[in-house]
Amino acid sequence: MFKKKTDVELADIAAELIKEISQKLDVDMSIKLWDGRVLPLGPNVTSDLKLIIAHPGVIASLLKGPSLDKIIRHYIHKNLDFEGGTLFDIGEQIVFNKSRKRIKEISKSTFLKKLAPFLLVPSLKPEDSRAYEGDESGSTVEKKDAKKFIEFHYDVSNDFYKLFLDERMIYTCAYFTDWTNSLDQAQFDKLDMICKKLRLKEGETMLDIGCGWGGLLIHAAENYGVKRHGVTLATEQYEYAKKAIKEKGLEDQITIELKDYRDLQGQFDKISSIGMYEAIGIAQVPEYLRKVRSLLKPDGIFLNHGITRKGKKKQTKFSSRPEQKALQKYIFPGGELDDLGNTINKMEQAGFDIQDVEGWRMHYQLTTKLWCDRLTANKQAAIDIIGEETYRIWVVYLAGCSLAFLKGSARLYQTVATQNPKGMPVTPQTREDLYQ
């Protein structure tokens, strides 16, 4: 039997293991243990970046039952933490380190034997904090569920979102014509590119499904002279957008409703759906596309902007992966990522003719990284508004998204489509007009 160790003795054991691992890794960061000692996790560490393990019970907990959800909860409750950089910096060091394979050279039996004393340590069991209460998988998304899902994510606090979004409060992928552009400039360029892809003309009617805080509505009205209508299910976004529209004197050009898109009537010349496709759920995609087509005039244009996942040889359920379950539980209940091939297939089955597809993966990677950096820099202000646990959840979310786009497990596509493919499409024969 193993003798129960003191916290200091356990720190000594952990230090031994870290020194052994550091000979196999080549990362520029350190581990800070619960007794305060700092140990480099590579042979040539020069940065101040540190992963903090605040209690030996963290190791005990993960040794007895490792899971991504448990790691997230340990971070939320500050049992795991970081300093000297952002969570993205930590993740990038771990996920993209090419020397990780060398850890396999360490004997597993020797490694586990050294860890055995931690089995006698009471495991820290952090409880859920801000987690969705109900079926977060969204397997059956009724209208009442859709509204609850959206409000869980978006109705956190407008003041909180202001801390890391751009001046127009755009919460979707920016478009960097130059990678050094500011977030404000990149979001302006994104809004303008959407309007160009829709080939907006003065006097046309346009619908924005999931209009957020109204940034695209306002941009299109001010710069293209169209009559805009937007719908959202997030109450705080709705109130914010109404106020912004009134302040700019655009009430005669823009209308906005707190309404499910499935309840909309009428037809529009142009329809945009920016960043809400991933909130629908794959099972509901056919219904969504049929509804959009019914709202689009015969000679209209539809732009669908959505996050996707990499296509698989074998179709698997999105929510079965640990990171996706965590995303649905803490951030986006009901959310599910489609793959591009299925999206296009379903659009064609619904009667759309695909005119253009453009990948913006690295644009969203940089967008989410900038959001993570800005939120981290405004840590105390965020905590004052929404509390530390919710702040930490959003930091995990934004850093994780940026890493997912960087490694290619998440993608972002804008797809432009028209109706019935008979005859000449209403879009120009080239993309030349988009870049003038």
pLDDT in tens, 232-265: 988 889 999 999 999 999 999 999 999 999 999 9
Mean pLDDT of the chain: 86
Residue 143 has pLDDT above 70, yes or no: no
When pLDDT is averaged across residues 87-97 and rounded to a whole number, the result is: 83
Say whether domain 143-435 belongs to CATH 3.40.50.150. yes
Among 173, 195, 372, 401, the active-site one is 401
Q: Which of 247-256, 370-379, 397-406 has the lowest mean pLDDT?
A: 397-406
Q: Which of 33-42, 139-148, 206-215, 318-327 has the lowest mean pLDDT?
A: 139-148
How does 1-38 read in b/e, with b if 16+ C-beta sit within 10 Å?
eeeebeeeebbebbeebbeebbebbbbbbbbbbbeeee
Q: Which of 136-145, 150-159, 307-316 has the lowest mean pLDDT?
A: 136-145
Residue 132 has pLDDT above 50, yes or no: no
State the Cα–Cα distance between residues 156 and 248, nearest whole angstrom.
25
Phi, psi of 323 (to 5 degrees): -65, -30
Task: Answer whether 332's CB lies under 8 Å from 156's CB.
Answer: no
- pLDDT band of residue 288 (cuts 50, 70, 90) is very high
Task: Answer whether 256's CB lies under 8 Å from 232's CB.
Answer: yes
Domain with residues 7-120, CATH architecture: 2-Layer Sandwich (3.30)
pLDDT tens digit sequence for 294-346? 999 999 999 999 999 888 766 555 455 656 666 565 565 666 889 999 999 99
- pLDDT band of residue 152 (cuts 50, 70, 90) is low
> Is 195 annotated as catalytic?
no
When pLDDT is averaged across residues 54-75 and rounded to a whole number, the result is: 85
pLDDT of residue 334: 60
pLDDT of residue 144: 47
The domain ranges of the chain are 7-120, 143-435
Q: Which of 126-130, 243-247, 279-283, 319-323 has the lowest mean pLDDT?
A: 319-323
Pairing label, strands 80-83, 50-53: antiparallel
